[in-house]
Structure formats: C-alpha cells, structure tokens
Amino acid sequence: MPKTLFDKIWETHEVGDGLIYIDLHMVHEVTSPQAFEGLRLAGRPVRRPDKTLATADHNVPTDGTPVAARIKDALSRKQVETLEENCAEFGVPVFSLGSDRQGIVHVVGPEQGMTQPGMTMVCGDSHTATHGAFGSLAFGIGTSEVEHVLATQCLVQKKPKSMRINFVGDLPFGVTAKDMILGAIGQMGVDGAVGHVVEFAGPAVEQLSMEGRMTICNMTIEGGGRAGMIAPDQTTFDYVQGKPAAPTGAAWDAAVATWKELYTDEGATFDREIDVDVTALSPRVTWGTTPDMVVGVDGTVPTPESFDDPAERGQAERALEYMGLKGGERIEDISIERVFLGSCTNGRLADLQAAADVIQGRKVADGVYAMVVPGSVQVKIAAEELGLDKVFTAAGFDWRGAGCSMCLGMNPDVLSPGERCASTSNRNFQGRQGKGGRTHLVSPQMAAAAAIAGHFVDVRTFEPAGEPVAA
Amino acid sequence: MDPISIIEGKVSDLPRDDVDTDQIIPARFMKRVERTGFGEFLFNDAKEAPDWNVEIGNPILCSGANFGSGSSREHAPWALEDAGFRAIIATSLADIFASNCTKVGLLPIELPEDQVRKIAAAGEARIELDAQTVEIGPTHARETFSFDIAPGTKHRLLNGLDDIGLTLGDEGAITTYEEQRAASAFPGPSSLSLPPQGPDGKTIQSTPVA
C-alpha cells in the first residue's frame, strides 16, 4: 500500500501500540526543571543522554552576558543555572551561556548536524516542528512528557491524522518562505491543521533553501498542526553533510541511501489536502492578534464590518482595539517604532543576509529602534565573518547576542505598552513580545525595509541602495 | 496526579475563540523551577481588559474554538489547575494543550458549540468521566451531553496513573527496539559524539564554563 512520508517515519519508530521511540530530545531551561526534578524524586536516570541535547535560549539576555552567574534577573539566572546543574547531574550535553554553540534550540540542532532526515524529535517547545524541514517527525511536548522522554526515550502518542499542503505555482519575485506559510495560515485559519501532521509539498517548496524550509515548518503550529515536514532531497543532504554530528564515510553513504526512501509514495492518501496558490501571494503583514489575521503589504487592514460572522467580527474588533488600528488603513501607512530580526523562525544566517541586502547603504529611520539577534553563537560568528554585523551597525541596527530575545517576552528584550513592532518571529498574540506590545509578523526582508522607511513598505519595489552583501 | 471521577460545581465562561497560552499565562511568569504557584498568574494580562468577566475559583471553564493554542508550556494547565479548575469544556482544544491537561489531572472536553453554550448558561454542571457525560439542569429537566476521550487517557485519569511507570513496564520492548536500531546501517546521531573542538580551533564547551 502506498505510504506517506509521515507513515514511513511513524512505522519505523513504533515500539508498541501508541508508543513511539524518540531519536533526539532537545531540552531548554524553561520547560525542563520540573521534569528533571520529577526524575530525581523517583530516582530515575536519563535513559539516553546520547540522544538528548540541551541549550539555554528562552531566558538568556542578548547583551553579551558571558556566564549564567552574571544574568541580572534572579529568576532567569536560577533557571539557566538549574539547567546546567541538571545536565551535569544527569550527564546530558549542554550548550549554556559561554559556549560558542549556545543558541535557540531549533537553530542549534540543525547547525550541529543533530537534526537529520527520518528521525523522530521532540522538545518542550511548540516550534520543534522546525526540524521537520529535514524530513523528520518533530513536535512540541509539555513538561510531563519531557520527563517521560528523559526517563524512557519514548512518547505515548496516538497517531495524528495526516494533511498535505500543496504550494501551487512558482514563487513570485520578492515573496519568501515566511510569506508562503503566513499565506497558508491566512487561508486555513489558526486551527486549520489541528490534530494533523502536515507535509508541505510543491515546486516552490522544493526550490527553497533549508533555511526557508525551516521557516515554513517552524510555523506549522501557528496553523494548529502537530508537526510539519518536507521530504528530504539533495538540498537537505548537502546541508547536513559536514556538520559536526553528521555521519561520515561509509556511514554517510548508508544514511543517504536510507534518506532517499523518505518521500510520499505515488497514490498515498492524506486525511486532508489543500492547495495554496503562491502566484497570488505578495509579501505578507499581520494586522491582528492571531497569525491568520494577515494581508498583503499592498492591501488594507480589514474593518470589523467586513466580517459576516458575529464571532469573527467581535474578535476582529478586539484585535483592532489592541493593535491601535481602526480598520481600513493601508498597510504601507502603518508606522512602526521597533524592528526585531531574529527568532527560531528567521534567525539564521540566510535570514540575516537577506535583511542585510535590503539595508546595505541605508539608515534606520528616525524614531525606530531596530535590533538583530542571531539565532545562535555560530550564526553570529558566521555573520561577522561575512561582515554583516558592520552592515547592520552602519545602518543603525543594534547587533545583539544569541537567544530567543524579543520573540516571547521573558528576557530583557521586550516591547513597551503600545509600541508597534515589525517582527520576524512567529506569534502576534496579545502581550507576546511584552505587555501591551503590538506585533506585526513579516519576513526578514520586509522587517529590514520597514526599519529603513519607518513604516511598512513593499520590499518588491524597494530598490537596492548598495552592493549585495554576500552571495 | 489525583484520580478524576466526578467533577461538579459552578461554571466559569470565557466565550471567545483562540484563547492562546500567552493569554493564559504570559511567558514572563514562567521563570519558576517548581511546578506549583502559577495560579496567581492565570490570565494575568488578559483580565485587565474592560470586558473581562471570568470567575476564578470554579471547577469548570467553558470557552470557544482552539482554546490553548500557541506554546507547549505546561505552565498553562498548571496555572488553570492551581487556580482551582478541574475541567475545560471548549468547542475545540489545541493539541499540545489538551495533551498537557491530561498529565496534570485537568480534564479536557470538546463539545459542539450549542452544547458548550448551554453548559455555560446553566452555570453549574456535573461531569462523570466514567460515563463520559456532562449533565446540566434541574432533576426534572436534566440534559446530558456525551463527550469523547481516548480509552488510554480515560483509564489513566480515572486511576491517577503515572505514564512513566506504565511505559517502563514495556522495558523489554524498548530495549529490543534500541538493540535493533544500534545494529542497523544508520543508528542516528549521538549528542555525546559532538567534537570538543570547532573548525576554527576555538574551544567548544559541552559543559558551561565555571
């Protein structure tokens, strides 16, 4: 019987009925302390430290704080130090502050070569779906499940339903992976994929870099999906090869032979399937407080009256009030005070390069504070080797240290009440980036252009002012 | 986790869709390393809205579609449970949130919108997990709604069982699986094999500096 990519991975990881084996468990400081404490109380070890990898990311300041002991916020310091102590006690490798491999868990896994096709991966973080870009089954879990995986290397899981999102057509000029996923969420709604593992397919996906594929899979959860995945191909293999944990020699050949079988068979069926026409997409900008409240940069903010359903109208009214908008404004007329470039969605080298190309030779608009937060120390080092830090600082951007930063408002990087931000992160929920903060989700190119203009601007008509930064 | 059999009492109502985990508990309150004490931060910012009207202290909460969407933070069910809620009845629930609820003894129930609205309007309800029912109304005009729950989850909640203990009962199957994988052509990566030295010669700590 023809099988989906998801079926193939699921079947090779079933230990028993409703019990699947986990190949890699990524751990961070916020959702793990109670899990380690549970192990300690029960006298249980971590079953497979070699299949576990920890990093500090959510809580870390991005001001260059060199070690956990110097974190000013006492509670944050305690959480990062607790992660270090737990990892030392249970023998789990950890990249904490001071390590040049520290960074956002979903940036670190791929760049260390720990994320490989065909694997099952979990992490106490909903954006774990990111790793599905490599053709793996990766999803977020809660702290009780973190404890369960630490103790057993398995997860109790009923097989989710399957869904395929076909991106139809060729990606137009100036439209990015971020616009593709925001377009898909806008079309299906924030609960459009609930209960499903989503495979993203189509020529536009195949043409994307691994960074672009990670951006798409990362935001699967914003459409309610359990996991997102993309079949591995030569682009995937080329990315993995040579990474620190990638197989070498004969083991590499054996691995690639296995990975080449990871695709959805002709004739395999999905529980649900939708098409998204990418030729109709322009750069996307969210206007509300859920990621499906999104329009093109060439569009206008909808008015509450434009929603027929009373519940939707009420939601739009609340969202507009929170966002300080009336409805009817042209997106390009919306001014911003802050720009955040970073996060597990768009904090990789290719994202920073794309943004740097837009700002090269320009200055950040008066009254705008723009920050760049590399997704990991390794991204930061690579960007500095290319001179990107100089491009950003010359334009007036603040060049920061690695971490989750202003994506989620639990470290010093936050919006003040009422501040409006063009953000490359993944959630525009109320208060997500700081209490009262107003978030508009966009691509790195759109965030960079907004920083220069001081308001949203269509990056497709934003002529380069300088030489391209890097190939 | 305490066993659940009957949940009975007053109903709080939050009649809107997409109540996300950042609304349930903002990230800045997730810095504790303990499991307890999150109840005081439940709906910390959301409750400042002028139209906010959710009674805290009741055992049952009703809401709309996609309740608990967003992050995987178990702090959200911890906060709800710590504030006294024992069951969430919504028209739909986000996947990870619903799963997390069942780990902390909070019963997640999905029902059609008209039934959720009736329960909220009744103001009081009685939930029987074994029978998978929600009952409302006076004795002479009792209305009963049935809900679905996975048999394994129901068994665990009814008995207050620890998932880990149950899984470790399959120790033989896990070990067999691990042996087969280790002997295969592609056993998968090991985090312990990450080289101690970066390509640029810089030291890479797999444990933090002192």
**Which ipTM did the prediction report?**
0.92
Mean pLDDT of chain B: 91
Chain A residues within 8 A of B99 when measuring between CB atoms: 141-142, 145
**In the predicted structure, residue B2 carries a pLDDT above the cut 80:** yes
CB A121 within 8 A of CB A23: yes
pLDDT category at A466 given cuts 50, 70, 90 is low
Please check whether residue B168 touches A, CB under 8 A. yes
**Average pLDDT over every residue of A9-35:** 97
* CA nearest to A62, candidates A413, A386, A345, A296: A413
3-state secondary structure of B69: strand
The reported pLDDT for the residue numbered A462 is 85
At which residue do the structure tokens 């509300």 appear?
A: A288
Contact: A381, B163; criterion CB under 8 Å: no
B174-188 burial, b if ≥16 CB within 10 A, otherwise e? beebbeeeeeeebbb
**Average pLDDT over every residue of A209-236:** 98
pLDDT category at B202 given cuts 50, 70, 90 is very low
Please check whether residue B183 touches A, CB under 8 A. no
State the best of B17, B31, B113, B163 to mutate against chain A, taking most chain A CBs within 10 Å.
B31
Closest-CA distance of chain A to residue B138, Å: 30
**Average pLDDT over every residue of A175-182:** 98
* CA nearest to B49, candidates A223, A260, A435, A117: A435
Three-class DSSP labels, chain A = CCCCHHHHHHHCCEEECCEEECCEEEECCCCCHHHHHHHHHHCCCCCCHHHEEEECCCCCCCCCCCCHHHCCCHHHHHHHHHHHHHHHHHCCCEECCCCCCCECHHHHHHHCCCCCCCCEEEECCHHHHHHHHHCCEEEECCHHHHHHHHHHCEEECCCCEEEEEEEECCCCCCCCHHHHHHHHHHHHCCCCCCCEEEEEECHHHHCCCHHHHHHHHHHHHHHCCCEEECCCCHHHHHHHCCCCCCCCHHHHHHHHHHHCCCCCCCCCCCCEEEEEEHHHCCCEEECCCCCCCEEECCCECCCHHHCCCHHHHHHHHHHHHHHCCCCCCEHHHCECCEEEECHHHHCCHHHHHHHHHHHCCCCCCCCCEEEECCCEHHHHHHHHHCCHHHHHHHHCCEECCCCCHHHCCCCCCCCCCCCEEEECCCCCCCCCCCCCCEEEECCHHHHHHHHHHCECCCHHHCCCCCCCCCC
The reported pLDDT for the residue numbered A467 is 64
Of B31, B49, B94, the CB nearest to A75: B31
* CA nearest to A209, candidates A110, A296, A293: A110
pLDDT category at B205 given cuts 50, 70, 90 is very low
State the best of A152, A185, A322, A323 to mutate against chain B, taking most chain B CBs within 10 Å.
A152
The reported pLDDT for the residue numbered A196 is 98
**In the predicted structure, residue B208 carries a pLDDT above the cut 50:** no
Instruction: Render pLDDT for A191-218 as a digit per residue (tens, 0 to 9).
Output: 999 999 999 999 999 999 999 999 999 9
**In the predicted structure, residue A42 carries a pLDDT above the cut 70:** yes
Bridge-partner residues for A295, per DSSP?
A: A285
Contact: B193, A50; criterion CB under 8 Å: yes
pLDDT category at A459 given cuts 50, 70, 90 is very high
Which of A453-457, B189-193, B199-203 has the weakest average pLDDT? B199-203
CB A32 within 8 A of CB A382: no
Tokens of A268: 């395999």
In this structure, are strands A19-21 and A14-16 parallel, antiparallel, or unpaired?
Answer: antiparallel
Contact: B92, A113; criterion CB under 8 Å: no
The gap from C-alpha A471 to its chain's centroid, in whole angstroms, comes to 23
Which residues 322-361 of chain A have a CB within 8 Å of chain B?
Answer: none
The reported pLDDT for the residue numbered A287 is 98
Tokens of A376: 């990991």
Chain B residues within 8 A of A255 when measuring between CB atoms: 185-186
pLDDT category at A386 given cuts 50, 70, 90 is very high
Tokens of A241: 């090869």
The reported pLDDT for the residue numbered B204 is 44
**In the predicted structure, residue B203 carries a pLDDT above the cut 90:** no
Instruction: Render pLDDT for A260-290 as a digit per residue (tens, 0 to 9).
Output: 999 999 999 999 999 999 999 999 999 999 9
pLDDT category at B19 given cuts 50, 70, 90 is very high
Burial class (CB in 10 A: 0-12, 13-18, 19+), A463: exposed
At which residue do the structure tokens 């616009």 appear?
A: A179
* Cα B92-A168-A331 angle, rounded to 5 deg: 70
**In the predicted structure, residue A300 carries a pLDDT above the cut 50:** yes
Q: What percent of chain A has pLDDT over 70?
A: 98
**Average pLDDT over every residue of A353-363:** 95
Tokens of A120: 């099952």
Chain A residues within 8 A of B79 when measuring between CB atoms: none
The reported pLDDT for the residue numbered B209 is 38
Contact: A194, B73; criterion CB under 8 Å: no
A51 phi/psi in degrees, rounded to 5: -110, 25
Closest-CA distance of chain A to residue B203, Å: 8
**In the predicted structure, residue B186 carries a pLDDT above the cut 60:** yes
pLDDT category at B193 given cuts 50, 70, 90 is confident
The reported pLDDT for the residue numbered A108 is 97
**Average pLDDT over every residue of A375-386:** 97
Rounded Cα gap, residues A196 and A272, in angstroms: 9
Please check whether residue A95 touches B, CB under 8 A. yes
Bridge-partner residues for B159, per DSSP?
A: none
**In the predicted structure, residue B85 carries a pLDDT above the cut 50:** yes
Which of A93-102, A287-296, B118-127 has the weakest average pLDDT? A93-102
Closest-CA distance of chain A to residue B127, Å: 24
- Would you give the DSSP letter of residue B200? T
Instruction: Render pLDDT for A233-246 as a digit per residue (tens, 0 to 9).
Output: 999 999 999 999 99
Q: First-to-last CA distance in chain A?
A: 44
Which residues 136-175 of chain A have a CB within 8 Å of chain B?
Answer: 139-145, 147-148, 151-154, 156, 158, 160
Whole-Å CA distances, A137 to A97, A329, A345, B6: 29, 41, 18, 37
At which residue do the structure tokens 């009975």 appear?
A: B8
Instruction: Render pLDDT for A410-431 as a digit per residue (tens, 0 to 9).
Output: 999 999 999 999 999 999 999 9
CB A407 within 8 A of CB A426: yes
B83-121 burial, b if ≥16 CB within 10 A, otherwise e? bebbbbbbbbbbbbbbbbbbbbbbbbbbbeeebbbbbbe
A412 phi/psi in degrees, rounded to 5: -60, -15
The reported pLDDT for the residue numbered A450 is 98
CB A439 within 8 A of CB A286: yes
Which residues 40-69 of chain A have a CB within 8 Å of chain B?
Answer: 42, 44, 48-53, 58-59, 67-68
**Average pLDDT over every residue of A6-27:** 97
The reported pLDDT for the residue numbered B94 is 97
Bridge-partner residues for B7, per DSSP?
A: B127
A439 phi/psi in degrees, rounded to 5: -110, 130
Instruction: Render pLDDT for A120-175 as a digit per residue (tens, 0 to 9).
Output: 999 999 999 999 999 999 999 999 999 999 999 999 999 999 999 999 999 999 99
**In the predicted structure, residue A90 carries a pLDDT above the cut 70:** yes
Of A15, A97, A128, the CB nearest to B174: A15
3-state helix, strand, coil in chain B (%, to 5): 35, 20, 45
Determine if residue A436 is left, alpha or beta; phi over 0 gives left, psi from -120 to 50 gives alpha, anything else beta: left
The reported pLDDT for the residue numbered A469 is 62
Please check whether residue B195 touches A, CB under 8 A. yes
Chain A residues within 8 A of B206 when measuring between CB atoms: 93-95, 99
The reported pLDDT for the residue numbered B198 is 43
Mean pLDDT of chain A: 96
A357 phi/psi in degrees, rounded to 5: -60, -35
Rounded Cα gap, residues A226 and A141, in angstroms: 10
Which residue in B has a C-alpha nearest to residue A136's C-alpha?
B188
Tokens of A182: 């925001």
Rounded Cα gap, residues A429 and A440, in angstroms: 10
Bridge-partner residues for A11, per DSSP?
A: none
pLDDT category at B196 given cuts 50, 70, 90 is low
**In the predicted structure, residue B168 carries a pLDDT above the cut 60:** yes
The reported pLDDT for the residue numbered A468 is 63
A291 phi/psi in degrees, rounded to 5: -65, -15
